[in-house]
Structure 1
């Protein structure tokens, strides 16, 4: 078992509530800390913020946009990263289609009127169909996005997503790659690629889950993180 702090990095328009169940399950066994990536204007700024959460080696688990932050940490301070977990994320820069979609959503967020976060229509993209109809799951997602608001969305959408292939190939520590079986934002195929790049990776696919696995499959995600933290 590692003594390194477990740093949980949320994704776009997510806060610590994304990791609510993992914090409850793992805090008694590990030093769990949640990063705040809502304030920095650049990826370098976010990397500095997360690295400052603790001294020495870190166990870093990044979800979605947080996975890009985790890879940026690996590029800039590889000596600080003892183990790496990537959940529902990617390692390539945005495709033109994804960049266009992000730009469209940013334009909507900057338009006049109240920012409503992720509504019912978009929930079907982020959650598996059964989970989008679950009022508790849907309510948690909507509440996070509304709580953080347009300013955070615009700032996070503008962050440069960097190509992480070289950094992943070079990382030899314990790694976990996890995603939902029906994740439409960052599909399983990309996670198979990431796991193949990492020399010491466990790949976990969460059955019947979409993009938000920490909420959709809390027990499975917590158990996978615990196994990863306990690997030598």
Structure 2
């Protein structure tokens, strides 16, 4: 039997982020992590591991990638394969932290509905800025997440560690994937992760922004299917 797949969503995202892939991999056990209950990456990862299978393939996008890298630090023996999508191994910059604090303030001042509107342009490729259906998915995921969980997630991202010093310790097969039009975690950050994880694979998805699983579902699913085969 194939190993279960553990999907870890990104900031303000739910299982809907991986809807196309969940359908595509319906022939194997699937779990979508809960990353909404804690305000530190380490605590989120530890909580996910409490409910995770003994052995699994791990897929994380954006914040989900940060969490996946922490899971690799805490329990590398449980992960058979690792896929890091549209993510970043570095700690938050002062500019990123300032932006997060602004969004936290909005959420706490009962203006949470403005948050997905502000985030959407950075979430998608420049050619998808007017994609109403895609924007509606983002708004619905935000609504399902809610302001309290959003504040916890942003707080966790502000305090996340720099994962780069330990990426060389990852020994399982690894895939690093990024949209060529991702402006939040641009391709150069994916190249950096790829260069630090021994023998990792790199996939660049043409015409995709940050939410590659939704923007280019067939291409991302194809890359994951090829990577996960025989596990």
Range into which the TM-score falls when normalised by the shorter chain = over 0.9
Q: Choose the corresponding residue for 2:29, options 16, 22, 31.
A: 31
- For residue 49 of structure 1, report the CA deviation from its aligned partner: 2.4
Deviation >3 Å, runs of 4+? 112-117
**Structure 2: 5+ residue stretches without partners:** none
Cα deviation 1:9-30 (Å, max 9, x = unaligned): 00111010110000001122x3
1:8 aligns with 2:7: yes
- Where does residue 137 of structure 1 map in the other structure? 134
- For residue 42 of structure 1, report the CA deviation from its aligned partner: 2.5
Query: How does the TM-score come out when normalised to structure 2?
Result: 0.93
- Where does residue 52 of structure 2 map in the other structure? 54
- For residue 231 of structure 1, report the CA deviation from its aligned partner: 5.7
How far apart in 1 are the matches of 2:216 and 2:121? 16
- Where does residue 115 of structure 1 map in the other structure? 113
- For residue 62 of structure 1, report the CA deviation from its aligned partner: 0.7
- For residue 114 of structure 1, report the CA deviation from its aligned partner: 5.2
What's the secondary structure of 1:8's corresponding residue? strand
2:103/2:115 contact within 8 Å kept: no
- Where does residue 89 of structure 1 map in the other structure? 87
Cα deviation 1:122-171 (Å, max 9, x = unaligned): 32211112222122111111111122121111010000221112332111
**Structure 1: 5+ residue stretches without partners:** none
Q: Which moved more, 1:10-19 or 1:107-116?
A: 107-116
1:117/1:150 contact within 8 Å kept: no
How many corresponding residue pairs?
229
CA RMSD of aligned residues (A): 1.7
1:208 aligns with 2:207: yes
1:158 aligns with 2:152: no
Query: How does the TM-score come out when normalised to structure 1?
Result: 0.92
Q: Which moved more, 1:64-73 or 1:125-134?
A: 125-134
What's the secondary structure of 1:82's corresponding residue? strand
